[in-house]
Every structure is written in C-alpha cells, then in structure tokens.
Structure 1
Amino acid sequence: MKFTYRFIVVIAVLFVTVGTVAAASLFTSTEQKAAEASPPARSDVTVTVESGSIKDTVPLTCETVYRSTTALKASGAPPLVLTRTTVKDGEELTDGSLLAEINGRPLFALIGDFPLYRSLAKGDKGPDAVMVNAALVRLELMAPPAPDVAAVLHQDAVDSVAELYRRAGYEPPAKGKPVVSATDFLVVPKGATVAGAPRTPGSLTGPFATVAMGGAVVECSGVNGKLPTEAKSGQKATTSLSGSGEWPVTVVAAAQEQTTPLGSSSTGGQPGPGAGGAANGTNPSAGGQAGSPADAATAGSGRLQLAATSVGKVGQRGTGTLVLGSSAPDQLVVPSAALWSKDSRTVVTVLEGDARRDVPVEIVYSADGRNAVKAVEPSGLRRGDQVLVSEPGA
C-alpha cells in the first residue's frame, strides 16, 4: 500500500512540472522569441594605421653562379682526340697548368690578355713573345730577361719551355719544331677557374672544359624559371643569398656556351693581338652586354643579375624579390579593406572609444592589398589610429 501511494505522488509531481514548462512557453513574448532567433551582434574589426613604405614586388628564385663562363677548345687539324683529362671542377688555372692531353700531346695554359696568333720559334719577336717570357718568369723557370731581349724568345726561354714539358712528363719540342706551338698552348684570363666537370677521354668535336672568370654572382628568374615580363635593368631586388639590402639588377641574355676556342681563332687563322670578343674568350653575355634587356625580357629566357657585393660560393640556391616600384618612405599605410566610398570620396572610418569619424583620404600608392594614403584634411589621420575594416553599421 505504501509503495503504491509514493508512486502516485511522483507521477503527480512530474505532471505538474511538465505542465508548468509548457504553459510558460505559451506566454513568451514576440520580442523575446525574435531575440532568441537572431544571430549575435557583430563586433567591429579594426586595424592600426602604420607608417612606412609599401612596395610592388615579384617573387624570384635565385642561385649563385659564375659571373661569366667560356669554353675551352683545342685547336689543330682534325681528328682531335682527348686522350687524357687533366683538370677538375673548381681548379684555378695558372701559367703552365696542364689543361688536357690532345692526341697524346700536352695542352698548357698561359695567363695572358690575347690569344696566341702564331707558333713561336727561337728568335721570334713581338708582344706574344713578351707574354710567353712573362709566364715563364712567373713559373720561376727563368730569370727576368734583360730589356733588350724582353720581347724576344731567346735561348733561356727555349730551355725553360723544354723544362716545362719534362716536368709534365712529355718530350720537349724536337729541333726544327716551334718552341711554343699554338696547338700546345692556350691563353686563359687571370683568375680562370674550371666550372663543372670536364669532358672524359674520347673524340673531340667541341669544348673539352668550361672555365669561369670574375667570381660568383647572384642570378635570378621568376618562380616559373622565366624572366618576369616586368623586369628591367636598373630595378632593384633583394635575395637571401646576398645578405640584407636592395641590389641593382641587370637583365642579361640567356647564357650561351661558346664553341670558339679560348686563346685561338675558330678558323685556325692568325688573329692579331688586338683581336677581342670570342677570340680571347670573352663571353658576350657577361655583364649584360649581349642583346638588349627588352629582347631578353620579350623572349622570357633571360636572367636578372644582381650587383651584390656579398655572395657565397657557386651553387647556392635561395629566394628573392624584384621591386617593381615603391611608395615614398614614412607614408600612412592602411589595407584596402579599410577604404570606403562616401559622397564620391574615399574615406577611412576612425574609431575613438565609442565614437567614430569618417576621414577623407587620397591614395598615393597601392600594392599587394595595401595603400599609402594621406588625409585630405590636416591631422585627419595619424599613425596608430584604429580604422574599421568591417562595413560601418554592419
């Protein structure tokens, strides 16, 4: 009996509670129902007015490369066969360096300013003899010649050349043969360094090695590997490969490997000591001297060379930024989302506590969604002001 009574009481209490809740819902006001159905009020979103300069930029991919390169090619009548490889990547060439063995004969390096334009015999006189004598003196194979024989291939020079052959493991030129053969000596510029692995032994129909001059330089292209169409010589760029700062750039044509032998003419003729260009190994593309920047930019195959003074070793890769233009320094900077149009004027809305005011501004430079502006009215906008980037009244 007691159990039945308690059960009836619990049921009654539940019935009353449910009924009370249902009744309360029937008496909720219309305003209350609307408020409960509406989303919460939006908060104002603001940004701080900054001071500085904005830039219009293009991303770059960069690498450190040799400033200029040129090919080494043997001269002489075909067939030409590379019978031994003697230089290695990164080797700096000096007077007497054994560049290669061609058809079983040595090919020595001479440091000079122009190619050999003839083979030299004892007693020959001229600027080429001066160059050979100077190289032999630097090699410490002979003492500096007296002034009256400085331009003559005299007996001391003949003996010194013979010693150079013997030290390299070759028989000196036979009697009746040229002392300095144009096929056994190749003139290279001072500071020339072997760039890349040389050819392996075999038939030669082109260069057997490539050399670089002038040290390393930073070269860049667009992220797609092509020259940005906006690129022009005289612009500036930054790169992670040359420390901080902006560097002037030069548009250079795509590198072209030369097949003209360094230190001799391509036809086997006798160019004089004044012959320049490809004959002495000068790469026409070095330093942006080949073609016009416009041609390179149109083709999309050129490169940007930075005039950076702090460059690491060759082969490093990094990123960069080409600066197409920039605003003046110390400008007031706001994002594009802070600009509104009101009464045919461009304005920003400044929040000051609970108050807000619309400030007319003039856009002086825009790039990448940021704007350098100046207030139309004096002191209308200052660095540090908070401006709306959500629509006023939203």
Structure 2
Amino acid sequence: MVNFSSDKIEKLLDLIYDAAAENDLWPHALTAIADLTHSEGGILFGQSVTAQRVYFDFNGRLNEECNRAYQERHMNNPWSQYMETQPVGRLVQSDQAIPLSKLQATAFYDEVLRPQEVGHNGMIALAARDDFRAAFNMCRSERRGPLDPDEERLLEWLSPHLRRSVTLGFRIDGYLAVQHAAFDVLDRLADGVVVLDHKARVLFSNAAARRMSEEGALRLHHSIATHSPVHSQRLNELVRAALQGTAGGTMSLPRNQDGRLLTILVSSIRSKDLGRLSDAGVKDAAVLLFVVDPANRRSIPLGRIMDAYGLTHAEARVALASSSGSTTIETARALGLSPNTIKTHLRRVFAKTATRRQAQLASLMASIGSVRVADVDWEQ
C-alpha cells in the first residue's frame, strides 16, 4: 500500500511544484516517480500531432536516441492516437489502447520501445487545447508488466499535482515572455528609461539612455549622475525623495552639446504597471526615470494616446503638448488655442488618465507613447 504521507512523497511533491519555475528539475521529478513505481523511466512533453511538432520534452531516464526516433518518425502511433480522445487528468494503461501483442507488430515498437525494453506505459493528458497536448508517460518494461493497483493509485493521486505544476509553468513562461517583450519595447523608446534599485544603483537603462550617456548628458555607471554637479545634486534629491515613497518630481537638464533642455521625470515604482519591472529579471526595482527630449515629442502618434485613454483628438494634442513641461500659455500659443480652452481640455485629460498635474501627465505620456515612429506630424 502506498503511504501518501511519507517523506519521499512530500519531497516528490516539492520537486514537482519547484519544476514549474525551474524546468531543469523535471527529469529529477520524473526519475523519482519512476523509482516509486518501479518503472524504467518517465517523460513529460507538449506536442501537436497535427503539426508533427514536439514543443518541449523532459526526459527522466529514458533513451534519448529512441526519443529522437519518436519525434522524427513516430509521433502518430497507437498510444498517441488513443490519448487524443482521452480526458485531461485520467490515467490510462497502454494495454487499454492496444494489446502488447498488436503493439509488437508496429514500427513504433521496433524503433522506439524495443531498444529500451519498454512494453507498457501509464499515460496522463495534463493539458489540452485545440491540437496541442501536454502529456505524462511512465514507461514500464515487458518483464515488469503493467502498473499494479498501488502504482496506479500513486499516479492517480499525483495527476492533479502534475497538472497544476504544468499549468503554473505555462503561466510563468508566458509572464516572463511578456516581460522580456516589454523590455524590448523599452529599448525602442525615443526617450531614455532608467531603473534604479533601493540603493539608487542602475539596474536597467534602455538604448536611448545609453546613447545620452555616450553623448555626455548622463552618466550611467553604478549610479546615475549628469555632466553638471548642480544638476546631479538636484537629481539625487529627486531620487532620494522617490526612494522614500513620494511621487518624485521633474527637473530640466541642459544637454552638454547644444544646451537644449532635457526633462527628467523621477517616479517611485509603486503602481501595478510599473511594479512588473521589478519582476522581470530586474530585482529590487525601486525608482523609474524618464529622460525626455522635447524634440522627440513629435514621435508620438496621437492615435496611440487616444486609444489608450479614450481621449478625443483635441484632448490628445493638448496632453502631448503639455507633456514637455510647457506652461498653459506656451501650450496655447503652440497649438493656436486660447489658454481657457487648454485648461478645459487639461481638466478632461486629467480625469480620463487619473492624473492630477502636468508632471504626472508627462510621466504617463513618456511611458506609453514615445516609441519611435517615422514621419509623424504633431499637428495631425
């Protein structure tokens, strides 16, 4: 009788759930299950028989050459055909799919099973969607025979844990992929983006920020500074304030080459959107800086801002113009509108974007809309 409360079982469960985040642990988990069930070995894989493609496989002590033969020539076999119609989570003994005597007459048996002395299999579909299936196989020798009742009970008991771990693994992998893609987007922003940790050390800088560093406007080594001691002191004050949990702030910085003003927006990382940065392989993220060159404001498509927050065309133009730090009068002059009209549009913009002042709006515009787009007209 299987003791489901034994130390071995508890350690196995820990291993199964740890494998969700660390795939290299799956072969160890499969080998441990094989030992407990007196099996030759196990395999966990995701595949599409229709596409004839194996997307991933983790092998616990089975023959790799036989596994390659399976992937190259025998994905469509009596076992896989039978499992295509089986519900997720159900343990199926291979003899239910096809008797061993008939299996031995197939090329699948000759090339995949016979070389590793496998004749029986315990199979569980762990996930299924369209023509994709994630599956677990515990392979048995002909001498050992099919799973006995105790071994069946163990695999049936493990089935929901295997399913949860695989599903969790999909989510973790998908989340990491999204986060890596997000950093790819950050690297294409026209504005500089810098992420600092709780000790004000640089964790991440995008391509635009690195270019500003090469040009001398910023200094990005272990910490962030500017070419000017006075401006560096002001920047340090804003970073310290953000580290203490305040909203941060905004400052201007003359470019070293032509004196054109850059705007630096400093914000603590607290919102659910910015919080993702600290989970995407960038540990201890605490402060986010946008370094905005007003000349790049023309690179933001108004449609992107309108879609993101439900702004009208006129409101998006005002939000974009105001994000460079201009006063109400300067924005009115630039857009050919009255100051009262600018104020009216800004009130609506603040309400729709959940911001309260222009510094917050500028940070928002920098974060959502400054991907380079060629030949975009600011007055569109």
Greater C-alpha radius of gyration:
1
Which structure is higher in helix share? Answer: 2
Which structure is higher in strand share? Answer: 1
Establish whether TM, by shorter chain, passes 0.5. Answer: no
TM-score, length-scaled by structure 2: 0.28
Which structure has more RCO (C-alpha within 8 Å, separation ≥ 6)? 1
